Structure 1
Amino acid sequence: MNPLKNFTIILLCFFSLYSYAEIEQDSIISISGQILQNKSLEPISNATISIKRTRKGTICDSLGVFHLQIQQSDTLIISALGYQPKQWEVPFIFNPDFPPFFTIKLNDISYLLKEIDIYALGTWDEFKEEFLNAEITEKNPINEDIKKQLKPFNTKKPNIVPAQYRPKREGKMGVVDAIFRPTDFLHNKFSKTEKAKKKISKLIREESKTKKINKKFNADIVSDATGLKGEELIKFMEYCGGKISVSEHSSEYEVMKQILDLYKDYTTKEE
C-alpha cells in the first residue's frame, strides 16, 4: 500500500477528531439560576442539580443559587428534601456568552402521618408525646438517598454575599482557563459588571469580618473585664491596640485572656 496514501488517511482522521473536539468544547455553556418554592417563591437551599446526559452536577448554595456548565440540548434533574423531583429542559439560549439567569420552581411533597387516637380522658402531655413520636412516611423514597448525599454539606457556611452581587467566578483565572474556557476568561477579565461585583463582594466580606471582630473586642467587653471607665478605658484601649491579636476566628476565651494579661501589664506599668 502507498505510504503517502496511509499518511494522508491518518492526517484526515486526526483533523476530523480535532474538529469534533473543538465543536464539543464550543457547545459548552455556563449557566446560572435559582431554585425556588413554587408558591412562596422562597429560595430552596442545598438542592441537587444533575445533568441527565452525564449524571454530573452541582449543589445549590443557601440562597438556592447554582452555576453549571451544560450543552444546549441538556436536561437537568433537580431534587431537594421535601420537594417533588423535576426534569427541566434547558431553553434555547440565543447568546451563549450572556445566558439569562434562570429560575426553576419545585412543588412541595405532602407527608402522611400515622393515625393517632385521641381519648377524652387523656391528658395534653400524653397526646403531645404520642404526636411527637409519630413516624412520618415519605412518599418519595429517593429523598432518603439525597439526605445521604447532602450529609457532608450540612455544615457548609452560607454565602454572606447576596446572589445579585456575586461574581460569576471567584478569584483569578489562569492560563488553563484561557485555553479551555476562553469565553469565561474574557468575561472575567474585561467585563465591567463582573469587576464591579468582585469589588462589592470583597467589601461585603470585609465588613462582615470587621463586625465579627468588633463583637469580640469592644469598649463594653473591656470595661466589664477591667472595670475601667471614661478616659482610663480609652487609654487602656489605645494601649491594647498594637498588642492584642483578634480575628474573626478567635474564641471569646482567647480574647478575654489577652485583655486580662494586657491589663495586668498595664497596671504594673502605671505603678
Structure 2
Amino acid sequence: MSVRLKTALLICMASMALVQAKAQVTVTGMVQDENKLVMPGTSVLNKTTGKRNYADAGGFYRIEAHRGDSLVFSFVGYITNTFAVNQSTGTLTRNIVLSKQERFLHGVEVKSQYTPYQLDSMDRRAQFQPWIEAKDIPLAGNSTPEGFGVSFSPITRFSKKEKEKRKFQKIYVQNEREKYIDSRYTPLLVSQVTGLKGDSLLRFMQKVRPQYEILRVQPSEEFIYWIADQYHAWIKKD
C-alpha cells in the first residue's frame, strides 16, 4: 500500500472519529407530575457531562447529550427520574413524569459533621441555586401608569416567568421545612417513644405533626415529651 493511500485512509478514519465525537442529540420534552401538572424549574442534569439546564415556565426542557449519556430530572419533594440517551443524532423527545416522595423517612445514623438533612439540603440548594437566588423583579400591577394606552413593558413581558420563579421559591422553602420536620420526627423515634408500629404508627404520624417554627428551637428532650403527650391525647380520642 502506497504512502499516499495510507495517509488518505488515516485522514478518513480521523475525520470519521471526529464526526462521531462531535455527534450529539438534542433531548427535549415536558416534565409533569402524576396529576399532569407541569413542573417549571425542574433540574435537568446531564450526569455524564456535568451540564445542567432547567424546565421553563411551561415545563419544557432542552439539553444537549451524546448517546449513552445519563440524564437526571430533579424537583424538590419529588423522586428523581433518570434515563439513558439511546440516540446518536437529531432530536430525541422524552416526556418525564415525577412522583412525590413519601413523607416519612427511615431512621438514620449520623456519621459525619453534617446530619443527613443538612447534606441533602446543601445538595438541593446546589441543584436549584439559579432559581433560589434569583432577585425579584417587580410585577406589573396597580403601579402601571394609566392614561397612556397599552404600551410594551419588559416587566409585563416577564411577569409570568417571575411568578413561576416566586412559586418555585415558595415550594422550595416549604419543602425544606417539611424535610427538616421529617429529619427529626422519624418513625424510629416515634415508635420508641409510643410503642406504636405498622399502620397505627403511620396513622398517628399523619394525624399528629409538629410545627416547623416550634421544632426548630425545641431541644430533643422536650420534643420527646411532646410526642409522649400527643400520643396520650391521641389514644383517648382514637
- TM-score of Structure 1 vs Structure 2, range by shorter chain: 0.3 to 0.5
Q: TM-score with structure 2 length normalisation? A: 0.46
Bigger RCO (CA 8 Å, 6+ sep): 2
